[in-house]
Structure 1
Amino acid sequence: MGFACRNRLVRVGACWYCPRQGALNRKGDKMKRILCGALTAWLACVLVSCGGGTGDSVDARPFSPPSNIVPAPTITGLLGLVVDSTNGTAVSGVTVTAGALSTITDTQGNFALPTIPNGSNVVSFTLNTYAPQSRTVQISSTIETSLIVQIVPNGALDPFDPATGGTLTVAGSTGQIDIPGNSLRRADGSAPSAGSATALLTPIGPSLDAFLLPGEYVVQPAAGGSAAQFETFGGLDIRITDAGGVALTNLVAPATIRIPVNSRNTTLPLTLALMRFDSATGLWVEEGTATLQGVAPNQYYEGTVTRIATWTAGQIYTASIITACVHDQAGAPVGGARVNSDGVDYSGGGTATTNASGVALVPMKRGGAAVITGTSPRSSNSGTISAGQSATDFTLIPCLIMPTAGMTIRLTWGAQPFDLDSHLKGPNNMHVFFASRGSLSAAPFAALDVDDVTSFGPEVITILRLTQGTNEYFVHNFSGTFTPGQTGSPARVEVRVGSQIRIFFPGAGEASNEYWRVFQFVVGTDCSVTINPLVNSWSATEPANPSGGAAGLFCS
């Protein structure tokens, strides 16, 4: 279909496109109408690089199992890595529990549970400076299972007297709990110790990453029956300990909580179910309702609870099943991979594990849009399911590819700006972005899997084969709006190289600059990778290719 461009056409490389046109930029947004055609096997070639300076060297080898637990060659069961959700740094000292088994992450954030039983296991992750996290994993006797887990740092710490109660709040958030006096109890029903108690309130924002909430988006309905999938509109973790350091988990009189609205779904229901996370079962439990209150952007869901726990305001949906297959670069099926659906127009996810044939049956919201990605713990490329495709059960074709060596870069953001764009530049005059989406099967062996134009993201760039030389990733505020801009949105970039992860948020200096220069990475002749964050680096014009016109060899 033709169209009329009221603005001056802009040239990008060999292509021309029409820039934003007033109100059209708000929905279809960017008018990206291009007027031209256009690790069993781990990251073996990527070793530790000593980058130097302020560079961020990335060890892209498989997890190193904690040496005090079990020698690496004998690892079976579950092993993984725990990182901080705000920056991707490894978190040590996290207690990892599965049933009667328990271990602690080492200084590199690694853990191993080699004797975890086969089948479904609920694995919990706790550290007193972070909100608790949980994942349900499928363990096989023939396939090693691995996991990268992100945990959210604590929010507000509020001391108060349980005898008098009070309203506990989180600065800069609508999250709060109003506790009646003498209402708190320990798990055994006894009253708290006399003296000041301590409350920790941590808002959890699933619009940036759906899997920051614990569990797998499965809830036990209040009416009974089978567990069901749901979407969330925000989360709040609440933990309270008395003067004796004992957790206060029960209430004999209801407390009123406010859960900040945080969702990719822009249609906010007036009433939602309140759901409490049960760390023993790995399921959410529907308990009561919450109503929408406040005025945007300071809206929240308010309801009453009788338990101190992690809460979400959510709604059950009818699920469609997406059949997805995961292969390695040679075309062999990858068994034991964790395949997630991540809602694009809703905040929620579904999880399944590939069988020996590399096939997984992944749930998602019927009539919704979602991105499907496999991890093992390397990240595959991503496939997109449209609202039309998810109207019934659907098979994703072609198979997702789990790289032997490569990188994935995932961009998410808030409701505004409406449109942020991922850009990757590097050797061989490479420029991967919406107008030149690249290829995984031929040079540059890098591709934009997902291009989102209606807020939130995700946008995903997958690099199947790294190119030796200097590369740069940056984000363009295509909408050109700054209320908020990328900093206030906030934009978030997650980078996975092998089993390692890095997370970036914008720094100071945005003003009216449209380009956030996030990081450069150098791929050495031995295919080692050094990530160099570009701290507080903004530009009013598109950054140049850091390699100039230099050529680079592809890592195999």
Structure 2
Amino acid sequence: MKAKLFRTGCACLTLSILTACGGGGGSTSTGSIAPTTATPTNSPTASVVGVVRDMNGTPVAGVRVSSQGNLTETDSNGRYQIAVAANNNTRLITFSKAAYAQQFATHDQTLSTGATGYANATLLPVTATINFDPKIANNLTVSGSTASVQLGAGALAREGGGAAAGQARVEITLIDPSADASRMPGNYTASVSGELQQIESFGAMQVNFSDTEGRKLNLVAGQTATLRIPAVARSGVVFPATIPLFYFNESSGRWVEEGSARLKGSAPNQYYEGNVAHFSTWNSDIAYETTYVSGCVQDAQGKPLVTTAIQGNGIDYTGSSLTFSDTAGKFKLALKKSANSNISIFNEAPRKFELATTVKTGNTELQLPTCIVLGSITPTVSNTPNPSTTPTPTPTTTATTVASYAGTYSGSYNGAESGTWTINIANNGAITGSGFSNTYTLSFTITGNVAAGGAVSINAAGNAGASIFTGNINSSSGAISGAWRYTTSTVNQGNFTGQRN
């Protein structure tokens, strides 16, 4: 059987969360944003606004948004606004709509009275819905995946007490954060031994049960179930033989360690298997050691960007972190030690993060040599063995000639398969990104490079197949086009096109 183009072993669903804050700590105009249906009373209030999109980037209307007892819905443009308590630095925002997995944004920022914060979300469809008899033992599997939930006879009951009524229903959502780190609930922070730590994911899975009356079900006290979570990671990362399991606490908005799982199966169909005592979103994770990158952010006129969000995303690890600039535009961002990461800053107008620079950390704090300017990409920066030496941009022989292609591009491909893709091109020509196969409802990761003349070479890979994209970029128009083929084939399977955003 011919390998699928970008099969990853898990068709994902959940929302991607991008949280950030408004500039200057003041109110931000929200235009036609849907009104909040309830507001806190007798206490100072702030607002959180954002845009909810589907996996193709299309705004999603009618999404229920809730936080701190307040409710609203997204409008026809996928936008929402919701009132939250001011002077509270942590809040949980929940996004819900039928046929989509519920998602949570953990918004960690102190908002003063009248200030505005941001939390965007991307909704993805539920991977599998299965009806079954809960009175007997069941092995609930996801077609085309190693994922499963193994239940004993009579293992489920209503969360409020009482037996399940009639048939049971399960919605299983597989999460592949290696394709897009922002698909995970929360913000990659876990409560470990009473302290918050950053975590790196190797795959996650959301499981929700209900009975014929729509009542939520969970495991009976004393019962356990066996989960198989497809193992996913960035290219070249070795899977740990055993790994801690974390569940997402829907009250605190944090991941909580509970139990462990073992790596089983054989490549490319490996999975983590472990026992759980309740259902939530379960994540196979490792808490990692962090170091810090310090710097400053400013606009094109050199003015400091105040209380602006700065986000770090792993390149050779699957994790994300977030911080905010101070009144002088300075920031200090936690990243994984001895790893490669992208740093992005929040562009308030379209409410999205823009790639700003790529850094390689060591074991000591890294100071960026210049301020990051919104809307421009700075060269790759590496840590140095001597912490007393000011880091300098990593020298490259092509930086001056390929920098004109730097930016974020998005587009589509067709032929034997069809789908969408998004890439970032750094000043040194390095390409990273992700895509989605509409044909097989699966995600894939992208790496590659662009040469001085605009020739593009892209490797796109999932756990069960890989492909090569070759083409060219027009530096003036920002248009990109070419052909793609399976790595196992010598002939092209289709074409791709795209445009610099």
Q: How has the CA–CA distance of structure 1 residues 474 and 279 changed in structure 2, closer, same or farther, with 3 Å as cutoff? A: farther
Deviation at 1:374, TM superposition (A): 1.3
Q: Deviations over 1:272-320 (max 9, x none)?
A: 0011001211100101000000000000000000111111101111111
Gaps of 5+ in 2: 1-20, 38-44, 378-397, 408-423, 434-444, 470-481
Q: How has the CA–CA distance of structure 1 residues 258 and 279 changed in structure 2, closer, same or farther, with 3 Å as cutoff? A: same
Deviation at 1:201, TM superposition (A): 0.9
CA distance in 1, matches of 2:118, 2:237: 34
The yes-or-no answer on 1:339 pairing with 2:310 is: yes
Q: How has the CA–CA distance of structure 1 residues 285 and 507 changed in structure 2, closer, same or farther, with 3 Å as cutoff? A: farther
Q: Deviations over 1:3-51 (max 9, x none)?
A: xxxxxxxxxxxxxxxxxxxxxxxxxxxxxxxxxxxx989xxxxxxxxxx
Residue in 2 that maps onto 1:66: 33
Deviation at 1:133, TM superposition (A): 1.7
Q: How has the CA–CA distance of structure 1 residues 457 and 334 changed in structure 2, closer, same or farther, with 3 Å as cutoff? A: farther
1:108 partner SS: coil
Residue in 1 that maps onto 2:150: 178
Residue in 1 that maps onto 2:204: 235
CA distance in 1, matches of 2:463, 2:262: 31
The yes-or-no answer on 1:276 pairing with 2:240 is: no
CA distance in 2, matches of 1:451, 1:109: 34
Q: Deviations over 1:80-113 (max 9, x none)?
A: 10111x2111112222122122211112110001
1:438 partner SS: helix
CA distance in 2, matches of 1:183, 1:281: 27
CA distance in 1, matches of 2:463, 2:400: 21
Q: Map of 1:48-447 to 2, 5 A cutoff?
A: 64-69=31-36, 77-84=47-54, 86-118=55-87, 119-137=89-107, 138-141=109-112, 143-193=115-165, 195-221=166-192, 224-252=193-221, 253-264=223-234, 266-375=237-346, 376=348, 377-386=351-360, 389-403=361-375, 436-438=402-404
Q: How has the CA–CA distance of structure 1 residues 436 and 82 changed in structure 2, closer, same or farther, with 3 Å as cutoff? A: same
Contact 2:175 2:205 in 1 (8 A): yes
From 470, 492, 497, the counterpart of 1:513 = 492
Contact 2:296 2:330 in 1 (8 A): yes
Q: How has the CA–CA distance of structure 1 residues 291 and 440 changed in structure 2, closer, same or farther, with 3 Å as cutoff? A: closer
Q: How has the CA–CA distance of structure 1 residues 240 and 481 changed in structure 2, closer, same or farther, with 3 Å as cutoff? A: closer
The yes-or-no answer on 1:448 pairing with 2:426 is: yes
Tell me the amino acid that sits aligned with residue 497 of structure 2: V
For the aligned residue pairs, the C-alpha RMSD in angstroms reads: 3.8
Q: How has the CA–CA distance of structure 1 residues 95 and 145 changed in structure 2, closer, same or farther, with 3 Å as cutoff? A: same
CA distance in 2, matches of 1:344, 1:185: 42
Q: Deviations over 1:502-530 (max 9, x none)?
A: xxxx9998774398533247xxxxxxxxx
Q: Deviations over 1:384-433 (max 9, x none)?
A: 121xx332222233222223xx99xxxxxxxxxxxxxxxxxxxxxxxx99
Deviation at 1:79, TM superposition (A): 0.9
CA distance in 2, matches of 1:299, 1:447: 31
Deviation at 1:248, TM superposition (A): 1.2
Tell me the amino acid that sits aligned with residue 476 of structure 1: S
Tell me the amino acid that sits aligned with residue 318 of structure 1: E
Contact 2:449 2:458 in 1 (8 A): no
Residue in 2 that maps onto 1:14: none
1:227 partner SS: strand
CA distance in 2, matches of 1:229, 1:282: 14
Residue in 2 that maps onto 1:476: 457
CA distance in 1, matches of 2:400, 2:497: 18
Q: Deviations over 1:177-196 (max 9, x none)?
A: 10111111222243211x11
Deviation at 1:229, TM superposition (A): 1.2
Deviation at 1:485, TM superposition (A): 3.5
Tell me which protein shows more strand as a share of its residues. 2
Residue in 2 that maps onto 1:470: none
Q: How has the CA–CA distance of structure 1 residues 207 and 162 changed in structure 2, closer, same or farther, with 3 Å as cutoff? A: same
Deviation at 1:215, TM superposition (A): 0.9
Contact 1:328 1:334 in 2 (8 A): yes
CA distance in 2, matches of 1:310, 1:474: 42
CA distance in 2, matches of 1:460, 1:245: 50
2:362 partner SS: helix
Residue in 2 that maps onto 1:465: none
Tell me the amino acid that sits aligned with residue 304 of structure 1: N
Q: Deviations over 1:126-149 (max 9, x none)?
A: 223222222222242375322322
Q: Map of 1:471-550 to 2, 5 A cutoff?
A: 476-477=457-458, 484-486=465-467, 512-513=491-492, 516-520=495-499
Q: How has the CA–CA distance of structure 1 residues 513 and 159 changed in structure 2, closer, same or farther, with 3 Å as cutoff? A: same
Contact 1:293 1:301 in 2 (8 A): yes
Deviation at 1:340, TM superposition (A): 1.4
1:313 partner SS: strand
Tell me the amino acid that sits aligned with residue 152 of structure 2: P
Residue in 2 that maps onto 1:49: none
2:154 partner SS: coil
Tell me the amino acid that sits aligned with residue 316 of structure 1: A
Gaps of 5+ in 1: 1-38, 42-60, 408-431, 462-472, 490-505, 522-530, 532-556
Residue in 2 that maps onto 1:539: none
CA distance in 2, matches of 1:349, 1:396: 19
Q: Deviations over 1:51-103 (max 9, x none)?
A: xxxxxxxxxx9864425449xxxx9621110111x211111222212212221
Contact 2:53 2:59 in 1 (8 A): yes
Deviation at 1:335, TM superposition (A): 2.3
Q: Deviations over 1:231-260 (max 9, x none)?
A: 010011111111110111334311000010
1:282 partner SS: coil
